[in-house]
Structure 1
Amino acid sequence: MESPERARLDAFFRQITTQFPAGDAITTLVITHLLAERPAFLRAMATTSTVGAVLPKPKSIHQPTLDEVRRTFTVHDLTRELFADTTQALDYLEDTAGGRDVVLVDIGGYFATILDTLVGKFSGRVLGVVEDTENGHQRYAALDALPCPVVSVARSPLKDCEDHLVGRSIVFSTEALVRARGDILTSRNACVIGFGKVGRAIAQTLRAQDLRVTVYDSDPVKRVLAHSQGFCTSATTTEAVRDAELVLCATGNLALRHSDFAALRNGAYLGSVTSSEDELELGSLHDLYQRTPVSAQLTRYEITGHYFYVLADGGAVNFVHGAAVGTYIHLVQAEILAATAALSHSRFQPGLHDMPTADRDTIARTWLDHFER
C-alpha cells in the first residue's frame, strides 16, 4: 500500500474510532482474512482494545502481510478443531486473555458451538461476538439461545457493496483458473447454488459474460426472485447441477452433500464462495475419487466413468487473486469496530443483533468524506 493511501486509510479509521469509542479496557481475539489492506484495520482495533491474538483464516493469508502483522501482534494458527472441543477452547481463551473482558471478532461462526462454555466458565467476561459472514450468522442464529450478545454485520446494508464485488471477483478468478488450462467459460451452462447477495452478483456477472445460468436456492422466495430476474430455476440441487458445466456455490452453508457429486456433469468445474468445509462435503469423496492436481488451484476428481474439476481445493475462489473489493471493504471493517465498541459499553442484551441504522449512516458519511473523491 502506497504511503498516501495508508495515510488516508489510517485517518478514516481514526475518525471511526473517535466516533465510536470503546468503554472500559477490553481484549479482542480477532479472526480475520489476512490480506494486504488488513493491517490498517488491526491498527484501528488496537486503539480501542488490547488485541490478544490475531487468528488468520488459513486460506486467505498474504505472506508479506502476515510477516508485517507478526511484528506488532500475537498471531496464532486458526483451525476449526481449536474451537470444536470445549475444554481446548476454554484453555485457549484462559491462556490468551484470562480474567479480562473479551470481545470475540469472528468470521465464519468459529465460536458458535462452544459459546455457552466460554461465557459460563471463562475466568473473565465474554462481552459478546461480532460476526462478519453469512455462514457465521447462520451458525449463531441456529443456536437455541445465545448466552451473550452477537452483533452480526453479515446482512448490513454497508456490506452490500462488498457482496456485489465479491460476486464479480468470484467470476473473475473462476475464469482465470479455467483459462489457465486453455479453456473458456463463454456460452456454457452454469449453475449458481444460493441466491443471496453474493449469489445474485455471481449469477448476474455470469449472464453478462454470455453464460446460460440456472439458479437453485432452498428458499422458494429466492427462487421466485431469481425467476423474476430472468434466470432459469430448479426445484432440487440435483436437477440444477445435472447439465451445468460450471457450478458455483454461494449458500453460506452446506451446498453439496456426498450424494450430489454424482450428479455433476463430466468435466464440470466446481467452486465455492466460502470455506470448503462450509459449502462442499468433499472429504466424503477422498476414499472414492482419485484426485489429480491439474494446476496449483485446480484438482481433477475422477472415478470410473465420472470426473469433474474442483477450483481452489473447494475454498473461496476469489482469494486466489487477493479478493480485492477496493475501499468498500472498509465500510464493513468500520462497522465491526463500531460493534466492538458497542459491546464494550454493554449496549446489547444476549441475542442476535444488528447495528442501529444511525450508526451505519455515520459510517457511510465518514466513508464518503474520505473516499468519494
Structure 2
Amino acid sequence: MEGPEKARLDAYFRRITAQFPVGGPISLLIITHLLPERPAFLHSLARTSTIAAILPKPRSINPQALHETRRTYTVHDLSRGLFADPARALEYLEKTASGHDVALLDIGGYFAPALTTLADKFSGRVLGVVEDTENGHQRYEALDELPCPVFSVARSPLKHCEDHLVGRSIVFSTDALVRARGDILTSRSACVIGFGKVGRSIAHTLRAHDLRVTVFDSDPVKRIQAHSQGFRTPASRTEAIRDAELVLCATGNLALRQSHFETLRNGAYVASVTSSEDELELNALDGLYQRTPMGEHLTRYEVTGHYFYVLAEGGAVNFVHGAAVGTYIHLVQAEILAATAALSRGGHDPGLHEVPSTIRQTIAQIWLDHFDR
C-alpha cells in the first residue's frame, strides 16, 4: 500500500472511530486474518481500546503484516483447542486481561465453546463478542443460551460486496493452482456445496468460466434459488459430487465427511472457502488414504483404485494469493468498530444482535466519501 492510500485509509478509520466512540476503557482479544491491509484496521482499534492480544488465524498470515503487528502488539498462536476447553480458555483470558472489561473479536466462532464459562467466571467482565463470519454466526446461534451480547456482521448488507468478491477470488485461486500443475478448469463439471452469498458468487463465476455447474445446499429454499438461476440441483450431496471434476465447499459446516470423499470421482479437485477443520473432515482419512504432496498447495489422496486432490491443505484456497477484495473490506471493518463501540457502552441483552441500519448507512456514506472518487 502506497503512502497516499495509507493516508486515505487512516483518515477513513479516524472518521469511523470519531463517529462511533468507545464508551469507556476496554481491552480487546482479537482473532483475525493477518493480511497485508489488516495492520491499519488494528491500529484503528488501538486508538480507542487496549489490544490485550492478537491471535492470527494460522493459514492467513502475511509475513510482513505479522512482523509489523508484533512490533506493536502482543501476538499469540491460535488453535481451536485453545478455546475448546472452557477451563483452559478461562486460564488464558485471566493471564491475558485479568480484571479488565473485555470485548472478544472473533472470526469463525472460536470463543463459542467457552463463552459461558468466560462470561460467568472471568475476574473482569466479558462485554460481549463481535463475530465476522457466517460460520461463526452459526456456532453462536447453536448455543442453547448466550450469556452475553454477540454482535454478528456476517449477514450485514455491507458484507455482500466482500462476499461477492471473495467468491471470485476463490475461483481465481483454484484456477491458478490447477494451472500450476498443467491442468485447466474450463469445460469441466463442477459442484458447489453451499449456496449462501459466497457459494452463489462461486457458482456464477464458475459458469462464466465455462464450467458445467451443479449446486447442492441442505436448505431446500436455497436449492430452489439455485435451480431458478439455471443450476442443476440434485436432492443429495452424494449425487451432486459423484461426477464432479471440481468440488468447492462453501458451507462452513463440514461440507464433506469421510463417506463423501469415497464418492469423489478419480482425479477430482477439492477446495474450501474456510478453515479445513470447519469444512472438510480430512482427519477421518488418516490411515485410510496415502497423502502425497504434488507441489505447493496441492496434495494427492490415494487408496487402491481411488484418488483425488485437495487444494491448500483444505484451507481457504483464496488465502494462497492474499484474498484481496479491495477497499470493500473496510466496510465490514467499520461495522466491527461500530459494534465494538456498542458493546463498550453496554445496555444490550444477552443474545444475537446486529448493527442498526442507520449505522450501516452512515458507514456506507463515509466509505463513499473516501473511496468512491
Shorter-normalised TM-score: what interval? over 0.9
Whole-Å separation in 2 of the counterparts to 1:333 and 1:361: 14
Residue-by-residue CA offset, 1:50-72 (whole Å, 9 max, x unaligned): 00001100000000110000001
SS at match of 1:48: coil
Q: What 5-or-longer segments of structure 2 have no aligned partner?
A: none
TM-fit CA distance, 1:298: 0.3
The alpha-carbon deviation at position 347 of structure 1 amounts to 3.8
Structure 2 residue 343 is the aligned partner of structure 1 residue 343 = yes
Counterpart of 2:72 in 1: which secondary structure? coil
Partner of 2:221: 221
Which residue number corresponds to residue 266 of structure 1? 266
Task: Write the distance in 1 (CA, Å) between the matches of 2:347 and 2:370.
Answer: 28
1:367 aligns with 2:367: yes
Q: Partner of 2:47: helix, strand, or coil?
A: helix
Deviations 1:88-146 (A, max 9, x none): 11010001000000000000000001100000000000000000001000000001110
User: Residues 182-193 of structure 1: matches in 2 within 5 Å?
Assistant: 182-193=182-193
Provide, for residues 210-246 of structure 1, a one-character-per-residue CA deviation record: whole Å limited to 9, x for no partner. 0000000000000000000000001111000000000
Counterpart CA distance in 2 for 1:227 and 1:238 is 18
What residue is the counterpart of 2:42 in the other structure?
Answer: 42
Separation in structure 2 between the aligned mates of residue 344 and residue 274 of structure 1, nearest angstrom:
30
Task: Give TM-score, length-normalised by structure 2.
Answer: 1.00
The 5 A counterparts of 1:113-132 are 113-132=113-132
1:1-373 map, 5 Å: 1-373=1-373
2:118 alignment partner AA:
L
Aligned to 1:348, the other structure's residue is in SS state coil
Residues in 1 aligned to 2:78 and 2:38: alpha-carbon distance in whole angstroms? 17
Give the number of equivalent residue pairs. Answer: 373
- Worse-matched range after superposition: 256-265 or 190-199: 256-265
Q: What secondary structure is seen at the aligned counterpart in 2 of 1:232?
A: coil
- Say which SS state the counterpart of residue 128 (structure 2) adopts: strand
SS of 2:52's equivalent? strand
Paired with 1:347 and 1:310, the residues of 2 have a C-alpha distance of 46
Tell me how far apart the structure 2 counterparts of residues 52 and 311 of structure 1 sit (CA, whole Å): 34
Q: Distance in 2 between matches of 1:322 and 1:286?
A: 29
> 1:156-198 CA distances to partner (integer Å, 9 max, x unpaired)?
0000000000000000000000000000000000000000000
Tell me the secondary structure at the aligned position of residue 248 of structure 2: strand
Q: Is the 8 A contact 1:159 1:332 kept in 2?
A: yes
Q: Distance in 1 between matches of 2:207 and 2:90?
A: 47
**C-alpha separation between the residues in 2 aligned to 1:338 and 1:347?**
15
* Secondary structure, aligned partner of 2:94: helix
Q: Percent identity?
A: 76
Distance in 1 (alpha carbons) for counterparts of 2:347 and 2:327: 28
Give the 3-state SS of the residue equivalent to 2:294 in structure 1. strand
Any conservation in 2 of the 1:216–1:235 contact (CA below 8 Å)? Answer: yes
Cα distance in 2, alignment partners of residues 64 and 213 from structure 1: 38
- Please, what TM-score do these two structures have when normalized by structure 1? 1.00
For residues 20-79 of structure 1, the C-alpha deviation after alignment (integer angstroms, 9 at most, x for no partner) is: 000110000010000000010000000121000011000000001100000011100001
**Which amino acid in 2 is paired with 1:196?**
G
Shift of 1:342: 0.2
> CA contact under 8 A between 1:48 and 1:341: conserved in structure 2?
no
Q: Do the aligned partners of 1:32 and 1:54 also contact (CA within 8 Å) in 2?
A: yes
Deviation at 1:248, TM superposition (A): 0.1
Following superposition, which runs of at least 4 residues in structure 1 exceed 6 angstroms of deviation? none
Q: Distance in 2 between matches of 1:220 and 1:130?
A: 29
Counterparts of 1:18 and 1:263, CA distance in 2: 54
Q: Which amino acid aligns with 1:323?
A: A
What letter corresponds to residue 124 of structure 1 in structure 2? G
Amino acid at match of 2:325: V
Amino acid at match of 2:69: V
- The separation in 2 between residues aligned to 1:329 and 1:154, in whole angstroms, is 13
